[in-house]
Copies of this chain bind each other. A is one copy, B any other.
Amino acid sequence: MSNEHIVSSFDEELRALHKSIMQMGGLVEAQIAQSMQAMSRRDSQLASAVVTADAKVDALHHEIDEQVVRMLALRQPMASDLRTVVASLRIATDLERIGDYAANIAKRTLALNVSPSVKPASGVLRMGKIVQSIVNDVLDAYAERNAERAAAIRERDTEVDELYTSIFRELLTYMMEDPRNITACTHVLFMSKNLERIGDHATNIAETIYYIVRGKVPDEERAKGDLSSMTAMTDKGVTYVADSQGN
């Protein structure tokens, strides 16, 4: 962290803000890991704990918002400091959403645990591992203020989107094979969608980190790998409908 500030306590405030974001990030990381664990072990107690702990994430988000408004009001930061402070608002919003998705996965685990397990759930656990490692990576990139590392994370989201599209297809097939699977599969479908959204928010954070370091957003538009919105059932089986942009 820079030592260029005349008012040394502003540095302390920046450090406190950084610490709050890291704390929120750590909490959210644990929420994802535990929601996945609750799902794989069919552990309803752990799932309930994740649902409850979401309030802590929300409280931290609120705290960071207040920290930022206070710093803007009292310190009127400029240039890269202003970028860092404003970016913290964005990162905290993305982390809060990630926390929400983890809590929703936990809620659905509670519902899943009253019926027999469904096969495609294993794909979701694999997706969960990738998403966890991306969130971990993005927090490291934030800690290091590493723009290259942040930029590389955007590539990894494609992997998540592709896995999501394949799980989506697998789930549809599974539901068609046996209608008794439908309720459980619908939950698994939303769980995998939640993980896909966590990947998107991690990517947003990566872009914000890039913005903090470089003062601009990364250039190229990220490729959209989630094709599931385009899935159609035709007499040739599950296919994709292209929209006018071909994506």
* Interface residues of A, Cβ cutoff 8 Å to B: 47-48, 51-52, 62, 68-69, 72-73, 76, 78-79, 82-83, 86, 89-90, 93, 104, 107-108, 110-115, 172, 175-176, 179-180, 182-184, 186-187, 189-190, 193, 217, 229-234, 238, 241, 243-245
Contact = CB atoms under 8 A, between A and B. Distances in A.
Contacts of A186: 172, 186, 189, 231
Nearest to A68: B86
Q: Name, among A114, A230, A233, the residue most crowded by chain B CB atoms within 10 Å (CB to CB).
A: A233
A179 B180 contact: no
Give the copy number. Answer: 2
Given A83-B69, A111-B229, A230-B111, A243 B51 contact: yes
Nearest to A73: B82
A78 B73 contact: yes
Contacts of A104: 229
13 contacts: A52-B245, A68-B86, A72-B72, A72-B82, A72-B86, A73-B78, A76-B76, A107-B229, A175-B182, A182-B182, A182-B233, A187-B231, A190-B193
Given A72-B86, A108-B229, 12 more contacts: A51-B245, A93-B93, A111-B229, A111-B230, A111-B232, A113-B241, A115-B232, A175-B179, A180-B233, A183-B233, A187-B231, A189-B189
Contact of A241 (B111, B172, B231): B111
Contact of A238 (B108, B110, B172, B183): B183
Contacts of A68: 86
A107 B243 contact: yes
A229 B110 CA distance: 9
A182 B238 CA distance: 11
Contacts of A78: 73
A183 to B, nearest CB: 4
